Amino acid sequence: MHMADALITPAVGGVMLAVSAGAIGYSAKKVKEELDDRKVPLMGVMGAFVFAGQMINFTIPATGSSGHIGGGILLAALLGPHAAFLVISAVLLIQALFFADGGLLALGCNIFNMGFFACYVVYPLIYKAIINKNFSAKRITAASVSSVVIGLQLGAFAVVLETLISGITELPFGSFVLLMQPIHLAIGLGEGIATAAVLSFVLKSNPMLLDGYQAQEVTVKMQSRKVVVILLAAAVIIGGFVSLFASGNPDGLEWSMEGVAGTAELESDSAAHNAAASLQQIFSFLPDYGFKGGSEENAAAGTSVSGIVGGGITLGLAGLTGYLITKTKKKKVKCQS
Amino acid sequence: MSKLAESLNKIQTLEELSDGITVLHRIHPMAKMITTIFFLVVVISFDRYQISGLVPFFIYPILMMAIGEIPYKSVLSRLVIALPFSFFAGLSNPILDRQTAFLLAGLPISWGLLSFFSILLKTVLTVMAVLIMVATTPMDQLARQLVRLRIPKVFVMQLMLTVRYLTIIIAEASSMMNAYHLRSVKQKGIDLNHVGTFMGQLLLRSYSRAERVYLAMKCRGFNGEYHFAQAHAVRKSDILYCIGLCTGFFIFRWCNLSMIIGRLLGQ
């Protein structure tokens, strides 16, 4: 679907070049904002990877035809939309210069058809929406197949429009669309499946490479933090409950139950913050709560505090033992080897 | 030869060519860029039925190919890629537009046939023009000019790095392909079931290579800046080259040289 120079007029080529140059300027600005100079060689190598990857054909069973991976969505899923757009533009420029795959004046059209739609339309609206910060093989497959297919459909449609506006071909709009769209539906399905396979592999082997996975990593961390919070809360409840039960004062129990319920429900990005905040609340609030009442309440609070402290020390000891065990085990392995 | 090895070959040939020492190689890259773009614009600005006006434009690529010592084989291999798309996009023209334009030795030539050949001619011309530019100018010099044209540096830097690592990653992919094919006799591509692992493996390898590249660059003082090769200062000959050729294209655009010569012969 790389357009050649011969298929467009200077006006169409010029307008599309201007549009794509604008988009490159925008994405370059965005990339610079978030740059991390580690990303510089990564973008270069990824461009080379997509280049090489598109030359590796795979066989589609039962059809006898072959396909290759799609570029835009794969790059966006790995590098984020802005860096991906720069990479795909560079790849298209190199293809035009080195292989005559797409023309130089048609470069603007090609960048728009294959880069812009993939990185700035389909990736945020479809891919990200389907993934919805929940990376699983199923979601990645659904997201990449549908976004590659839709991206190619948009691109193919743009090819039709650009060619027709240029007035180069005699094909009427209807039959041109009927010719282009189904072909690219088939190509898109092939590319989509391949892209999904690659991304699923990445998810299995090194999910940190996926764009946006960082956010999920936080929630994963949060989950382990959640476990810690729940365990802590359990220690607090049990320690507090037992001592409070002895003192016959249920208020403290109700209060800590609320606190636990509050932390257990958190799932959003800021969940970690919230969890930390409520933990803080537990620890800073408790002495305040415990020691403000009369002498009888005071005594009850005193016992629950001792229960909490005791629970904390036990947990700490258990943690330390676990740590020591793993450490000695590691040492043994080292000695053996 | 596999597609990978073939393109590796192409890139290497092109790099060797651009390293040449002909007069054309010594022209300032900016002069060549402007000339090429101007040529492309002029060629595709011809209306869809134009053929005779396009033919004189072959003078430029033919002369430059000779001066720049560019083998015609490389034109052919590029046309193999560029032509099919133009061919199929133009194929409908002779079928749908059958109105006779004129008679050529008694044979009716339709408008559709004219526009079809016009597309093909334009394709060949534009492909040759771009080839002449890249075969006589090293890539880093072109990149340097892009920076001068205010193309964002991040983009140009990443373009250069892609070019640098292209051959390495292709070679890596090629050896993986070899290994795969040695284990799966008589299979054409890669089995769909293995695409994920195969491409994923290549991806991880590329990724860890990027890490090593980054560390190596860091060791050599990389701070986010990429330094481009300086081209020599603009000389009179560069300006003359650029203005002379562009004027030539301009004249050819407005005076149909084929017609003029034809009429002269007719008289």
B103 three-state secondary structure: strand
Cα A2 from Cα B167, distance rounded (Å): 22
A316 three-state secondary structure: helix
- Min Cα distance B174 → chain A (Å) is 9
**pLDDT reading at B129 higher than 90:** yes
- Look at B169 and A99 and tell me if their CB atoms are within 8 Å: no
**pLDDT reading at A220 higher than 60:** no
Closest chain B residue to A66, measured at CA: B189
Cβ atoms of residues A151 and A73 within 8 Å = yes
Q: Which residues of B touch A97 (CB under 8 A)?
A: 130, 133-134, 139, 142
- Look at A59 and B163 and tell me if their CB atoms are within 8 Å: no
- Look at A48 and B112 and tell me if their CB atoms are within 8 Å: no
B131 at the A interface (CB within 8 A)?
yes
Cα A261 from Cα A238, distance rounded (Å): 15
pLDDT value of position B261:
83
**pLDDT reading at A322 higher than 80:** no
The identity of residue A282, as a single letter, is: I
Averaged pLDDT of chain B: 87
DSSP for A189-239, written as a single string: HHHHHHHHHHHHHHHHH-GGGSTTHHHHHHHHHHHHHHHHHHHHHHHHHHH
Cα A127 from Cα A192, distance rounded (Å): 12
pLDDT value of position A254:
42
- Look at A171 and B96 and tell me if their CB atoms are within 8 Å: yes
Cα A203 from Cα A135, distance rounded (Å): 8
B162 at the A interface (CB within 8 A)?
yes
Question: pLDDT tens-digit profile of A179-196?
Answer: 888 888 888 888 898 899
pLDDT bracket for residue A77 (50, 70, 90): very high
Helix (H) or strand (E) holding B109: strand B107-110
- Look at B44 and A193 and tell me if their CB atoms are within 8 Å: no
A85: Cβ–Cβ under 8 A, 6 or more apart, which residues? Answer: A23, A24, A27, A76, A115, A116, A119, A120
Which of B44, B132, B142 to probe the A interface (max A CBs under 10 A)?
B44
Closest chain A residue to B88, measured at CA: A169
Phi, psi of A102 (to 5 degrees): 95, 145
Cα A293 from Cα A281, distance rounded (Å): 19
User: Burial, B85: exposed, middle or buried (Cβ in 10 Å; 0-12, 13-18, 19+)?
Assistant: buried
Ranges for all domains in chain A classified under CATH 1.10.1760.20: 5-211
pLDDT value of position A264:
40
Is the ipTM beyond the 0.85 threshold? Answer: yes
B28 three-state secondary structure: coil
Break chain B into its structural domains and give their ranges.
3-138+233-266, 147-219
- Min Cα distance A257 → chain B (Å) is 47
Averaged pLDDT of chain A: 75
Look-up of token digits 């130089």: A104
- Look at B203 and A47 and tell me if their CB atoms are within 8 Å: no
Q: Which residues of A touch B41 (CB under 8 A)?
A: 10, 13, 105
Cα A157 from Cα A76, distance rounded (Å): 21
Question: pLDDT tens-digit profile of A1-12?
Answer: 788 888 889 999
pLDDT value of position A226:
58
pLDDT value of position B84:
83
Which residues are paired to B138 by β-bridges? Answer: none
Q: Which fold has domain A5-211?
A: Arp2/3 complex 21 kDa subunit ARPC3 (1.10.1760)
Question: pLDDT tens-digit profile of B183-223?
Answer: 887 777 788 788 888 889 998 888 888 888 888 888 988 87
The more confident residue out of A230 and A26 is A26
Q: Go through chain A and tell me how many residues it has.
A: 337
CA nearest neighbour of B102 among B49, B43, B47, B44: B49
Phi, psi of A66 (to 5 degrees): -135, 160
B255: Cβ–Cβ under 8 A, 6 or more apart, which residues? Answer: none
- Look at A44 and B90 and tell me if their CB atoms are within 8 Å: no
pLDDT value of position A19:
95
Mean pLDDT of A234-240: 61
Token pair, residue A315, equals: 């947990």
The whole-angstrom distance between residue B176's C-alpha and the CA centroid of its chain comes to 28
Strand-strand pairing, A58-59 and B190-191 = parallel
- Look at A45 and B170 and tell me if their CB atoms are within 8 Å: no
Cα B128 from Cα A100, distance rounded (Å): 9
